[in-house]
Amino acid sequence: MLKAISDTEWWDELKGMLSNHSLLELDVSLAKMTTFGVGGKARYYIEPGSVNDLRIAIEGARDRGKPIFFIGRGSNLLVPDEGFNGMIVRLNRKYWRGISSEADGRIYAGGGARLKEICRVACKLGLSGFEFLEGIPGTLGGGLAMNAGAMGSRIFDLIEEVEFIRYDGELKKERRDWFQVGYRECRELENSVVLSAILRADTEEVERTIKEKLEHFARERKKSQPGGRNAGCIFKNPAGEYTGQIIDELGLKGRRVGGAEISNLHGNFIVNRGNATCADVIALIKDVREEVRRNRGIDLRPEVLLLGRDWDEVL
Ligand SMILES: Cc1cc2nc3c(=O)[nH]c(=O)nc-3n(C[C@H](O)[C@H](O)[C@H](O)COP(=O)(O)OP(=O)(O)OC[C@H]3O[C@@H](n4cnc5c(N)ncnc54)[C@H](O)[C@@H]3O)c2cc1C
């Protein structure tokens, strides 16, 4: 049964239960933890330093009835201006970012490891097949939750096994076939946190060939994607079409609401021109959806996630 204690007392109690390898803070700005750079604060923020601390944090939030959300690099995330009145957990301590070479062309990576770093290590080891990760600015956990992909490949193609904890506390280890992944989603990882995974390459190639592929992919991205603050593609592609092309054909590039602007380089990117609010981004998303629905009869679905909210409530 819950003791009748205040939220502050609960938080202090939780702090006392975690090791000093964990970081706990109140009222942390989330804008700086996302690539979009918009939005408010998280009331409770934790970077757990071990699996045990992670479990205690999840259990603590659950028992206290606080919503919980895992954030990786925040590269597919829009944070509401009012912030998040729950617990944000980030696997950002060194403990979660390890990457190591295993037998037979396998790579172990922690849930907080950067995809770019995994790509770099694979390249060094002469393992091919990881090159498409080069330009995806997320973490392993975020990449798996989104089934991130590029250049015709997706991250689950590389997966042998994933270790994760469900919010109810169950620790699981599952092989790739167990996951029913879809386009930018993995239902089995909802309400779960990825601790680590074993990735494996299909082929071995000389480092030079891999480097050539990497350079080619990087050039392609540079040509087609804007720099600055953004969250990658805003909308999913409808079957058989490219959202960026549809937006381009409708002449919507450059359209702006407040500080949020549709990129002139890629129609499916919204760029934060420096002072955008979440409300600006949402207004622009609604505007684009309306234009596309009216002119093309297509109902665009956002790829970017809205922290703590369901898009259907907002759109
Ligand atoms: C410039 C740019 C280019 C991009 N290009 C691509 C691209 O080519 N292909 C592509 O697919 N995406 C792309 N993205 C989007 C984004 O990088 C990916 O979706 C990425 O996988 C998100 O990872 P993240 O760590 O930033 O996750 P976040 O944005 O922090 O979170 C995304 C989801 O993952 C969950 N999550 C985070 N960590 C964990 C964890 N440890 N366990 C379980 N769930 C977790 C979150 O709860 C959330 O549901 C791009 C983004 C940018 C800014």
* pLDDT at res. 201: 80
**Nearest 10 degrees: Cα torsion 170, 174, 180, 181:** 100
Q: Structural domain of residue 52, as residue ranges?
A: 7-93
Q: Would 103 be classed as within a structural domain?
A: yes
- Give the single-character DSSP code of 237: P
pLDDT in tens, 278-287: 999 999 999 9
Residue 202 pLDDT > 80? no
Domain final position from 155, 180, 207: 207
Q: Do 58 and 144 sit in the same domain of this protein?
A: no
Q: Would 314 be classed as within a structural domain?
A: no
The set of residues, in sequence order, having a beta carbon less than 8 Å from that of 229 and lying 6+ positions away, is: 35, 36, 37, 271, 272, 274, 276
**Residue nearest ligand 1's atom 21 by CA:** 143
pLDDT classification of 211: cutoffs 50, 70, 90: confident
Question: Distance from the CA of 14 to the center of ligand 1, in angstroms?
Answer: 28
Active site residues: 184, 233, 303
> Nearest Cα to 71, choosing from 36, 106, 105, 103?
36
* pLDDT at res. 46: 98
Which percentage of the chain shows pLDDT scores above 90? 90
Q: Do 112 and 198 sit in the same domain of this protein?
A: yes
The set of residues, in sequence order, having a beta carbon less than 8 Å from that of 148 and lying 6+ positions away, is: 115, 136, 138, 142, 154, 155, 184
d(CA 189, CA 212): 34
Q: Which of 68, 146, 189, 222 best tests ligand 1's pocket when mutated (most atoms within 8 Å of CB)?
A: 146
**Residue nearest ligand 1's atom 49 by CA:** 145
> Nearest Cα to 189, choosing from 157, 153, 144, 138?
144
> SS3 for 51?
helix
pLDDT classification of 2: cutoffs 50, 70, 90: low
Question: Distance from the CA of 114 to the center of ligand 1, in angstroms?
Answer: 10
Domain final position from 44, 66, 93: 93
89 lines ligand 1 (CB under 6 A): no
Give me the mean pLDDT over the 62-87 stretch.
97
Q: How many other C-beta atoms can be found within 10 angstroms of the C-beta atom of residue 84? A: 24
pLDDT classification of 1: cutoffs 50, 70, 90: low
> SS3 for 17?
helix
Q: How many domains does the structure of the chain reveal?
A: 3
Question: Distance from the CA of 138 to the center of ligand 1, in angstroms?
Answer: 5
75 lines ligand 1 (CB under 6 A): yes
Residue 203 pLDDT > 70? no
What ipTM is given for this predicted complex?
A: 0.99
